[in-house]
Amino acid sequence: MSSKSKPAIDPFYLSADKFFQAAAPTALTYDDVSLATLYSAVLPRQTRLDTSLSDRLSLSLPIISADMDTVTEARMAIAMALQGGLGMIHYNMTQAEQVREVERVKNHIHGLIQDPAKVHPNQTIAEVLKIIEDNHYSFRTFPVVNEKGVLVGLLSGRVVKERYRNHTVAEAMTPRKDVFTIAQKALKKDPIGAADKFFNEHLGINKLLVVDNADRLCGLFTLSDIERLSDEARADRKPSRDADFHLRCGAALAIPRKSDGQIDKDNFAAHLGALSAIGCDAVALSTAHGHTAGVGDAVRFARKLFKDMTLIAGNVTSGAGVEYLADCGADAVKVGQGPGSICTTRVVAGVGVPQLTALYLASKGAAKKGVRIIADGGITKSGDIVKALTLADAVMLGGLLGGCREAPGDIMEINGKFYKQYRGMGSMAAMKAGSAARYGHDVKTAQTTGPAKIAAEGVEALKELSGSVVDVLTQLAGGVQSGMGYLG
């Protein structure tokens, strides 16, 4: 439409460049802005949400779970990857523990129960009934293994009954020779495909056990799980998987320093090496201030050692910050200082740029250098994601996911309502647990002399239980598609 035909409203339909420049030096955040719509030729369901964090790492959902100790451990990262997003494992744990968490995600095969409940041949049916009751199991069929973990039979739910209570498992079970198994090495790249094929060829069989070379039990497929997965596979959003069919997973790193402040290069290289060896898909050097010599040096060092690793660095709030980290070798840069729901950086240190303007400035640097940017913090609803994605390649969520069942931490009941703890990584409690370095404080001071010596830049909160990651992400993705439909 020509500008002449709509002179009265045209000033309201500005490109990002004109809009943010007109508002300068006032900076804006999500709630200050609404996206204006014009003619659209697409329906929400026709829109696509795929994105990439580097030339080597694509996602079908532009959502990343925050590297916070009340948001992302293996369980959250598995749920995020299954929905097409990515989980960043936090670093308030030892390096070995973090590597194990990443490994759990990489080795997770959805639909394969990797450590199924099992029974011993010498147990009685009465004991099995007790196990079911104590653990609230909804199933009654158990693989039977001896003390070496070797499969000796399958106890069918048909015989796990009161009337057989005095029999032993060995007497009641289907013997090994009649149990259907598949060799672990036969699963290869497509375990679900292999299980699906088996169930198609064996009508009426609903359990398939996985064994290793020594006939030790290492997994269990059930027909109902595989059927559910086939339905999911037809959905538009594909799980995030690497070339070997493993789920994708990221990890955040604190930059280890010696007592003189220099990067502890041996320690850093060993941690990066351990993550790379198990196929960690992205490493984030997460700090409160990424536009610094220290973070730049660390990114350069990591890039030199691991040329193909997807490196995320941050956080910054300027185009110059993005350009600096891009020049150092980052593939993606996290943007946001203080917008987070549990952040007090702006109050404590008096710094930060309202998030939408920060994203605009960052997007200019990203366009110059050909890197991606991630909008980190301050997102409280799907509309914020739509606004963020007009400038950024992906968003990182803390608070919106902190109330999910898959987030670490226990569920608390207060006055009949259910909550989970959610805390800033710069909160006293989190810094004592290890994240002080992220805020430029000395970890040892935080752990020994305690909170009095350091300034907290985050608070602790409770999040009302918000169901599962699938529920939350389905709502958010639907909202984003709706926004994209409006915007054409």
Catalytic-role residue among 280, 328, 343, 404: 343
In this structure, are residues 420 and 402 in contact, taking their beta carbons and an 8 Å threshold? Answer: yes
Binding segment for ligand XMP (CB under 6 A), chosen from 27-35, 40-48, 53-61, 376-384, is 376-384
**Of residues 440-479, which lie at the interface with ligand XMP (CB under 6 A)?**
457-458
Q: Please state the closest distance from residue 3 (CB atom) to ligand XMP, in A.
A: 38
10: region left, alpha or beta (phi > 0 left; psi from -120 to 50 alpha): alpha
Binding to ligand XMP by residue 424, rule CB under 6 A? yes
C-beta closer to ligand XMP: residue 252 or 309 = 252
Among 78, 229, 249, 396, binds ligand XMP (CB under 6 A): 396
Reduced to 3 states (helix: H, G, I; strand: E, B; else coil), residue 361 is: helix
Amino acid residing at 467? G
Catalytic (active site) residue 176: no
Among 382, 427, 466, 481, binds ligand XMP (CB under 6 A): 427
**Of residues 336-355, which lie at the interface with ligand XMP (CB under 6 A)?**
336, 338, 340-343, 345
Catalytic-role residue among 104, 372, 423, 438: 438
CA atoms within 13 Å, Cβ hemisphere of 192: 16
Q: What beta strand segments (E) does 321-398 contain?
A: 332-335, 372-376, 394-397
Q: Please state the closest distance from residue 340 (CB atom) to ligand XMP, in A.
A: 3
C-alpha–C-alpha distance, residues 18 and 110, integer Å: 47
Among 27, 63, 68, 388, binds ligand XMP (CB under 6 A): 68
C-beta closer to ligand XMP: residue 239 or 336 = 336
C-alpha–C-alpha distance, residues 258 and 46, integer Å: 52
Q: Please state the closest distance from residue 321 (CB atom) to ligand XMP, in A.
A: 14
Give how many residues touch ligand XMP by CB under 6 A. Answer: 24
Binding segment for ligand XMP (CB under 6 A), chosen from 7-15, 322-330, 360-368, 397-405, is 397-405
Burial 212-226 (b: 16+ CB within 10 A, else e): eeeeebbbbbbbebb
C-beta closer to ligand XMP: residue 125 or 443 = 443
Among 281, 376, 384, 406, binds ligand XMP (CB under 6 A): 376
Residues paired with 207 in a beta bridge: 222
Binding to ligand XMP by residue 69, rule CB under 6 A? no
**Of residues 231-290, which lie at the interface with ligand XMP (CB under 6 A)?**
none
Binding to ligand XMP by residue 397, rule CB under 6 A? yes
C-beta closer to ligand XMP: residue 296 or 338 = 338
Burial 425-436 (b: 16+ CB within 10 A, else e): bbbbbbbbbbbb
Strands 63-65 and 86-89, sheet pairing: parallel
C-alpha–C-alpha distance, residues 245 and 239, integer Å: 10
Q: What is the DSSP letter of 216?
A: B
Binding to ligand XMP by residue 426, rule CB under 6 A? yes
Amino acid residing at 59? L
Q: In what order do the strands lie in the sheet with 460-464?
A: 411-414, 417-423, 460-464
Single out the residue of 382, 373, 390 nearest to residue 482, CA to CA.
382
- Phi first, then psi, for residue 268 (nearest 5°) are -60, -45
Binding segment for ligand XMP (CB under 6 A), chosen from 27-35, 94-102, 107-115, 335-343, is 335-343
Residues that bind ligand XMP (CB under 6 A): 66, 68, 315, 336, 338, 340-343, 345, 376-379, 396-399, 424-427, 457-458
Annotated active-site positions, please?
343, 438
